[in-house]
Amino acid sequence: MDTLTIHTYFVEYPEILWLAIGFGLIALELSIAPGIGILFAGIAGVSLGGLLAFGVLNEPDFYLQLVWFFGLTVGWAVVLWRPLKKYLRSSTGVFDMYVGTTAIVQEGGVSKDKTGTVRWSGSNMRARVRKDAKIDKIEEGEEVYIHAMKNGVMHVDIAPHESNN
């Protein structure tokens, strides 16, 4: 009896490979590398996996599957670019839960000219010091106040501390 290796498994069931690639790319976009367009490739991978799984596309050649993958990536980018851009730039409703809350600056700090990372509600988020802040840089471990969220980046300033005087 021949053992089923990963290579032969993906040759026999390419839809599983494309679904795994697609969901992996979407997870990468949402967690590690937001905003660089991997989302479109992820959606393309899931789409290609679905087309293969449901028999809509019957293409056994891996290189032609790659052509489909890149074509679907471009197609999803064309279809979704403007709506996603508009959604991310909207300042009402979408990011209200962030504004007015605090976060903790992570390794490397944040500044007006360098995007860094803050920890908000257990998640690492991209952040930078807002343009009209009186300071240029906030160091690691400092608590910051979130003033706005634009293009997936929090705009922060030093958190106001209540005095006991």
- Predicted pLDDT of residue 163: 43
Predicted model pTM: 0.55
Written as one string, the DSSP assignment of 13-41 is -HHHHHHHHHHHHHHHHHHTSTTSSHHHH
Task: Report how far residue 28's alpha carbon sits from residue 30's, in angstroms, rounded to the nearest whole number.
Answer: 6
Kindly give the confidence (pLDDT) of every residue in the chain, 165 residues in length, as a single tens digit, with 9 standing for 90 and above: 456 676 677 778 899 999 999 999 999 888 776 667 899 999 999 999 999 999 999 888 889 999 999 999 999 999 998 888 777 666 555 556 778 788 899 988 898 888 889 988 888 888 999 888 888 889 889 899 888 887 778 889 887 765 444
- Predicted pLDDT of residue 8: 75
Task: Report how far residue 101's alpha carbon sits from residue 160's, in angstroms, rounded to the nearest whole number.
Answer: 11
Measured in whole angstroms, the distance separating CA 161 from the mean position of its chain's CA atoms is 32
Identify the CATH number of the domain defined by range 102-158: 2.40.50.140
* Domain range summary for the chain, segments of one domain joined by +: 6-89, 102-158
CA dihedral 3, 7, 13, 18 (to 10 degrees): 150
